[in-house]
Amino acid sequence: MARRILAAVEDRRSALGPRVAARDIENALEDTVSVFEAVLKSIARRHLVDAGRTSEEVEKLLDKTIRSQFQNPDLASRLWLEHLGLSLFDAVPAEVVAEQGALRIELKGNLAAMLSAATNAKRSPESGDLSLQVQMVAGACNRRYLQLWSGAA
């Protein structure tokens, strides 16, 4: 969704003016941050429950302690380590490829999945809420990532 909004910015700037185009960019950024936060909370919730925390404890932690701090990658990384015992951006490999005179950066791992989720979110036509289809890809994972999902951390 964010990709489509950003691709249409120039046309909307021409047709509707720079204020509308700027607002479109702001909305795309807000949507991306919201999805980033939602994905982190969902993964944290699952990991904490799998690690033996009660649903009430998890919800209290997310609502009272973490609140909206997962919207900031630096705070999210610190809180992820503090409360889940895992490094959020541990072993985030990136591959830089020269492609037709431009550089393309290919992210892999947790960060890539979160950013992919953010760009694939859609708004509900009825409510305007963001919705997200989560995709899981089978393949090689590092041990820490597997621990996150198995609760063995």
pLDDT averaged per 10 residues, the chain (length 153) = 84 93 89 89 91 95 96 90 84 56 58 55 62 45 46 47
> What tokens were used for 119?
């760009």
d(CA 27, CA 32): 9
User: Which position has the token pair 């047709």?
Assistant: 15
**What's the pLDDT at 143?**
46
- Angle subtended by helix axes 18-50 and 110-119, to nearest 10: 130
**What's the pLDDT at 104?**
61
